[in-house]
Amino acid sequence: MFDVFSINGRDYSILAAGVVVALIYFVAQLAFCLKAKKIVIKLIPLYVFFIPVIYCALLGLGTFGRSYSNALFALFLVLIIGISAIGEILAWVVYGHIRHRRNQK
């Protein structure tokens, strides 16, 4: 059977999902940063980012029951969240660079 995210027998589906989510967060965060005037509005994608973080923490702590499937799903979410955090960080770095360039002129 052919798997799209399988290369040389290794499964890269977590990495692919994380990269897709990172790109979505990057575009959303950069758009909010460039268009919004208030910092509360600029932080909306960051607030949305913390929803799966809190869910993953609750799942990992056993709030929804202690089982190996919950722990495995929490680990899966941590990997995706960690990779997608790169999108948030890069958006703020790019926005800081753009803002610095604008203020230099």
Tens-digit pLDDT profile for residues 72-105: 888 888 888 888 889 999 999 999 999 999 988 7
Residue 4's pLDDT is what? Answer: 61
What tokens were used for 23? 């790109």
Report the alpha-carbon distance of residue 67 to residue 63 in Å, rounded. Answer: 11
CA distances from 7 to 1, 22, 105 (A): 13, 21, 48
Average pLDDT over residues 20-30: 91
Report the alpha-carbon distance of residue 70 to residue 66 in Å, rounded. Answer: 7
Residue 64's pLDDT is what? Answer: 80
- The four Cα atoms 36, 83, 86, 8 give a dihedral, to 10 degrees, of -120
Mean pLDDT of the chain: 85
Residue 92's pLDDT is what? Answer: 93
